[in-house]
């Protein structure tokens, strides 16, 4: 199960399947990581530095974190994609086609000047979360999306 959590500053990625519940994150930032509550991660209760440090010490790799750089990532279901936008300008997308009920991600792209900020990962996660909520299986012929599915 893939989830993202955001505040004004950060985007946090969490992969439930990797988490072995060592609770390191909870001990380092208890107001952020709150088992039993929904959402269990709340990024508005602690400083970014504390959150970042807790995430960097997650022993399983279930948690990772990026700065947002004021870039929004939203779903565009009508056009089968997620989209990244900076100040109204579209700067990236992740696109799928529906094949036998599955969503096949076949393209992920981010404008050259925005690369290296983790935007492609945010785009893929946006589709993974949405697919899970709709009980749809994701496959990827896009090599980048496949790497996220295999490594994350
Ligand atoms: S530190 Fe990592 S492995 Fe431990 S509970 Fe938190 S997310 Fe899970």
Q: Are residues 76 and 146 in the same domain?
A: yes
Q: Are residues 77 and 130 in the same domain?
A: yes
CATH of the domain at 140: 3.40.630.30
Q: How far is the CA of 84 from the centre of ligand 1 (A)?
A: 28
Q: Are residues 43 and 106 in the same domain?
A: no
Q: What is the mean pLDDT of the chain?
A: 95
Return the pLDDT at 1: 85
Q: How far is the CA of 122 from the centre of ligand 1 (A)?
A: 20
Q: Which pair of tokens denotes residue 138?
A: 């994701």
- Mean pLDDT over residues 79-86, rounded? 98
pLDDT digits 0-9 by tens, 41-82:
999 999 999 999 999 999 999 999 999 999 999 999 999 999
Burial status of residue 34 (CB atoms within 10 A of its CB: 0-12, 13-18, 19 or more): middle
Q: Examine the fold and report which residue of 29, 48, 67 is the final residue of a domain before the chain moves on.
A: 67
Ligand 1 atom closest to Cα of 63? 7
Range of the domain at 31: 2-67
Q: Are residues 141 and 77 in the same domain?
A: yes
| Residue 147 · residue 105 · CB < 8 Å | no
| Residue 124 · residue 144 · CB < 8 Å | yes
Specify the higher pLDDT residue, 152 or 16: 16
Return the pLDDT at 74: 96
Ligand 1 close to Cβ of residue 56 (< 6 A): no
């Amino acid at each position: 199960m893939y989830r993202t959590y955001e505040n004004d500053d950060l985007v946090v990625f969490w992969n439930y399947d990797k988490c072995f519940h060592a609770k390191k994150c909870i001990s380092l930032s208890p107001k952020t990581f709150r088992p039993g509550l929904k959402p269990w991660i709340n990024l508005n209760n602690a400083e970014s530095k504390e959150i970042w440090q807790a995430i960097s010490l997650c022993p399983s790799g279930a948690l990772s974190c990026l700065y947002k750089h004021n870039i929004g990532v939203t779903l565009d279901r009508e056009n089968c994609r997620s989209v990244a936008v900076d100040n109204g300008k579209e700067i990236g997308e992740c696109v799928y086609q529906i094949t036998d009920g599955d969503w096949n991600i076949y393209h992920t792209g981010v404008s050259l000047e925005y690369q290296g900020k983790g935007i492609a990962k945010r785009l893929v996660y946006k589709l993974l979360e949405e697919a899970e909520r709709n009980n749809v299986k994701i496959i990827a012929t896009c090599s980048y999306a496949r790497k996220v599915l295999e490594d994350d």
